[in-house]
Structure 1
């Protein structure tokens, strides 16, 4: 592949693209999910489409020009809108997601985005008013049940894990030891874990497995590239959160009181991180489950 791949990535500095290996490019985003590109011998695969179709299209075009290859497919780590709203940029290729994501995709393909809906969503996704104008949501073409390998040499493993959502999946690029985590890792922010199908036990199980992969680089759904040591801090936070919320509920602390209770774990994120309503909602949702 070396004759196909140009390693000069300087021109992408202003686009916040990062060369991870000779065959993996990571594009960090401050709005919507991160994007990534994997260059196999036979063509390109992308991970997540973010929220903006134009940005996803431009990233795809840049990578196709850079590697002189065509695109084969898009992997969606999970069916939350900030990871797939830009999927129209990949409408001509295979789109791969977990089988568990079918209900979410069906719901989004049928929804009418009224002004009221968009206004409410903009409280969480500030750019959605602009992003939705060019978006076209469609059903993925391949749904994975548990796990499936991709690439002629089976270099890519798509595995459904659950945790953040029932459809949360990892994409393991075994050749270059790179793992795409989706929102099972949310770097340096207050994490969101408040979906009805969020399962912290499955989440912790996934993190424990990743901790053993010390030689891997981990590309998160949001935030910078991390290593296995960072994952340990995330895992310890969620383990403690589970224990503390369960204990506080048992001792009679109310759902309203628990959100601001001093025993709630401080977390793995920096002091500069902003605490937003979805984090408080996540704690109250966990209270109902334990």
Structure 2
């Protein structure tokens, strides 16, 4: 009897877990930011079991011929819900997906788009092939059942800097920049003036630095600000019609870079640097203290080593 009761309890628990997983939904709501151009804005949070990794801005463009998707999200479930959200807007087919860089919230919805060309730069394709399994496993730990069935799909097509994609009355110009990662692909829709800036631009959310080079990132922001855009879609945070998010991101990078270099030159311990005060202009950015801690752990050790006096013979 005891054994039977244990088995029934285990079955009931398994069914409850399965039902809970089946109830999960990202509730994706496309927002039209320009004619035929839609953004699905994620929360300004880190990966959790509550948000399922829905922390990223994805987007799609409905052209006369079909749909172009910009990034496909953090999980198989997200990718499937993204396709369903597109289908609620238009009955036109998805023609292609553009993946902007190798961070998992931007490409792990790929299984839902294996029937269409998925493009990324050569460096991003190589990075996803090399790191995809590791980051997928990490997101399973962070997001739980939201990730069920998710596997890495390496983009099938190589996109290049300066490439122009003409589709359904839209002219999409691709720029391969860097700084946030080795390869950050930006999409400029010259037809509508919408700039998809990817994670080179954060808005009201502290930037992340796992693959960053701040000096190069700052140069890329100058390139973005020189573009003639009407709508700016950041990788994280609200869409705007001005360069405010570029300026905010630049100001934060400049402050962080200067503060870390000053601390390294002064020989400050990493634990002290993590606790350094945050300027008032950045204090209201989401996750600023958490991301400061992560950025110090990522960037400071090398700066501290470079500041050491040369060894004497």
Normalising by structure 2, report the TM-score: 0.75
Aligned with residue 166 of structure 1, among 158, 182, 189: 182
2:104 is matched with: 81
**Match 1:203 to one of 217, 220, 224:** 217
Secondary structure at the counterpart of residue 182 of structure 2: coil
* Aligned CA distance change for structure 1 residues 74 and 267 (closer, same or farther; 3 Å): farther
The separation in 2 between residues aligned to 1:157 and 1:254, in whole angstroms, is 45
Cα distance in 2, alignment partners of residues 175 and 192 from structure 1 = 31
Moved >6 Å (runs of 4+): none
Deviations for 1:5-52, whole angstroms, at most 9, x for unmatched residues?
xxxxxxxxx743211111201111222422211122222110111123
**Does the C-alpha gap of structure 1 residues 59 and 172 become closer, same or farther in structure 2, counting only changes over 3 Å?**
same
Q: Provide the C-alpha distance between the structure 1 equivalents of 2:63 and 2:134, rounded to a whole number of angstroms.
A: 36
Find the aligned partners of 1:103 and 1:181 in 2 and give their Cα distance: 21
Is 1:40–1:151's contact at 8 Å kept on the other side of the alignment?
A: no
Contact 2:28 2:81 in 1 (8 A): no
Corresponding pairs, count: 265
Q: 1:287 aligns with which of 278, 295, 300?
A: 300
Structure 1 range deviating more: 209-218 or 163-172: 209-218
Report how far residue 276 of structure 1 moved.
5.5
Aligned pairs for 1:1-290 within 5 A: 15-30=28-43, 31-64=54-87, 66-111=89-134, 117=138, 121-122=141-142, 127=143, 129-152=144-167, 155-193=171-209, 195=210, 197-213=211-227, 215-226=229-240, 227-262=242-277, 265-266=279-280, 268=282, 270=284, 273-275=286-288, 277-290=290-303
5+ residue gaps in structure 1? Answer: 1-13
| 1:215 shift after superposition | 4.3
Does the 8 Å contact 2:206/2:287 carry over to 1? yes
SS in 2 for 1:236: helix
| TM-score of the aligned structures, taking structure 1 as reference length | 0.81
Cα-Cα RMSD: 2.5
From the superposition, tell whether residues 281 and 26 of structure 1 become closer, same or farther in structure 2 (CA, over 3 Å).
same
The answer on whether the counterparts of 1:108 and 1:137 sit within 8 Å (CA) in structure 2 is no
- Segments of structure 2 that go 5 or more residues without pairing to the other structure are 1-26, 44-53, 304-313
**Residues in 2 aligned to 1:251 and 1:108: alpha-carbon distance in whole angstroms:** 35
Contact 1:43–1:70 (8 Å) recurs in 2: yes
The separation in 2 between residues aligned to 1:245 and 1:146, in whole angstroms, is 32
Measure, in 2, the Cα distance between the counterparts of 1:208 and 1:231.
9
Q: Which residue of 2 aligns with 1:6?
A: none
CA distance in 2, matches of 1:249, 1:112: 30
Say whether the 8 Å CA contact 1:234–1:268 is kept in structure 2: no
